[in-house]
Structure 1
């Protein structure tokens, strides 16, 4: 490992290459497929993922029960052992419920929890801050904040993040704010580990000091995305840029096709005969034409 890679690893508390893992369901009944989850998790780790983020948006957390969330964390921990970190999504619109999920995830074996901004009720910034502090105080594991105002309706304002960075348990941010300037300012002024939550920003955020990424597209091409970071750490910035650009078509197809990433990823995994299964309503499966386009882009990106 180069000096740059070693110093980077020291500032990436959960690893550099994290996958926002889908939650496999059975084809017939749509039940939780723990065998499939274990197989998928093992593949992702074997192909370069340092960590797995479970029960997030990509993992269809709005439609899984608390018991299913806990069972998934426990099963994946069993499958990957200590070969990868596990970050469990526990965010809800209810502070008490979020605390309950955080405690359950910790007991099930999670290394950290991912806490999204409370959504729908649109709390003001002092309430957002108090929500995160309450969860961080209650849990015995580190906290990764999730800033995605396009889904929640409320962002975590930079001043709020500056204050939250002083909490010893709040160590990281999954950044989907699309405010690259704010991310750079916070990287300069705090010790928060910043993870790109939008795949098109993986290299850009890493290049200015980010810790790595939490990637939906990594469900499909974990090794290809990991190679971007490895090239950058090796000092070959031109190769890192080439590899990021090589993945751009697939990233766009998966994340910008007018369908949620969960739908497109599961469709492509199913087409590749990998664990996935159906999405749960209100989500609907991708049309056949979309699946064919995804397959074309997947194969083209592998040979670009």
Structure 2
């Protein structure tokens, strides 16, 4: 369960339907070209919050069928609808996903007892293990050291996808819970997290930049911080260019440049203009 995990994208056609051929190509590209250790399936990068339960299940099936046991698979099953979250947890456990993950419940101002009950309810229904997905900037849910500790009292909750720039809290978590899995969630801050001895990273840009991500992680583990910093600089040049052009559609266009049938993003995300498509190809040529 340690290493570099791609937050997997999904290929959709112009009508917003799953492009199975393209999704399979994305899976294989991550495994065979980017050489990642695992896939984080149906997270926000996969446009999870824009698709139906049936589409989520189909994506889980296709990814498992294509990846098999080649890499570790984590199923993001989090939902504001607890019944859907439990249903997806059961479904992916039956598919033999290696672990589950769930974003903290958002939008409504849930208190911590409600958040804890959400995770405990999901895990009471399955024989699997859970990675908490903490991304305060998008959910509005911030948890402190003691609250993470309360979640970890459930032995099935084995770690956190930590997508926050709070390195003080990250260091405190690493010190307090050495046996729990901590994954960095900000690609542009991978080096900073790696020197705090995280167990791995889960990232969107690993769909096209997984090889560099591994270099950063392994160099930091070896104490070669200056070398790792140089690779992080290259990575951040790429990330800055992608963000300036439009995150998800630009990654998909770069994948197309690399021969992967990445499709388009679902509405209300807008497609790239012809100028931005050309810019995405220029980014691929310059930075990859």
Structure 2: give runs of 5+ residues left out of the alignment.
none
**What secondary structure does 2:198 align onto?**
coil
1:163 has 2:138 as partner: no
- C-alpha change, 1:42 and 1:15, in structure 2 (3 Å) is farther
**Alignment equivalent of 1:198, drawn from 186, 206, 214:** 186
**Which residue of structure 2 aligns with residue 231 of structure 1?**
219
Take 1:226 and 1:94, find their aligned partners in 2: how far apart are those partners? 35
1:77 has 2:75 as partner: no
Q: TM-score, normalised by structure 2?
A: 0.92
Take 1:164 and 1:267, find their aligned partners in 2: how far apart are those partners? 39
Report how many aligned residue pairs link the two structures: 286
> After superposition, what is the alpha-carbon deviation per residue over 1:274-296, rounded to whole angstroms, capped at 9, x for unaligned?
12111111111123333333333
1:135 has 2:122 as partner: yes
My pick for the range that moved more, 201-210 or 282-291, is 282-291
CA contact 1:202–1:212 (8 Å) conserved in 2? no
Take 2:100 and 2:209, find their aligned partners in 1: how far apart are those partners? 24
**What secondary structure does 1:45 align onto?**
helix
Structure 1: give runs of 5+ residues left out of the alignment.
1-13
Take 1:289 and 1:207, find their aligned partners in 2: how far apart are those partners? 39
**Which residue of structure 2 aligns with residue 9 of structure 1?**
none
**Alignment equivalent of 2:9, drawn from 13, 16, 22:** 22
Take 2:180 and 2:245, find their aligned partners in 1: how far apart are those partners? 32
**Which residue of structure 1 aligns with residue 164 of structure 2?**
177
**What secondary structure does 2:118 align onto?**
helix
CA contact 2:100–2:129 (8 Å) conserved in 1? yes
**Alignment equivalent of 1:68, drawn from 55, 70, 74:** 55
> After superposition, what is the alpha-carbon deviation per residue over 1:108-128, rounded to whole angstroms, capped at 9, x for unaligned?
232111100111112011111
Take 1:49 and 1:174, find their aligned partners in 2: how far apart are those partners? 16
Q: Return the offset for 1:94.
A: 2.2
Take 2:114 and 2:86, find their aligned partners in 1: how far apart are those partners? 15
Q: Return the offset for 1:235.
A: 4.2
My pick for the range that moved more, 201-210 or 231-240, is 231-240
Where does structure 1 differ by over 4 angstroms across 4 or more consecutive aligned residues?
A: none
Q: Return the offset for 1:59.
A: 0.2
CA contact 2:194–2:221 (8 Å) conserved in 1? no
**What secondary structure does 2:270 align onto?**
coil
**Alignment equivalent of 1:268, drawn from 254, 263, 268:** 254
Take 1:248 and 1:34, find their aligned partners in 2: how far apart are those partners? 31
Q: Return the offset for 1:45.
A: 1.1
Q: TM-score, normalised by structure 1?
A: 0.88
> After superposition, what is the alpha-carbon deviation per residue over 1:237-259, rounded to whole angstroms, capped at 9, x for unaligned?
322221111111112223x4384
> After superposition, what is the alpha-carbon deviation per residue over 1:89-143, rounded to whole angstroms, capped at 9, x for unaligned?
1111122221111111212232111100111112011111111121122222111
1:216 has 2:201 as partner: no
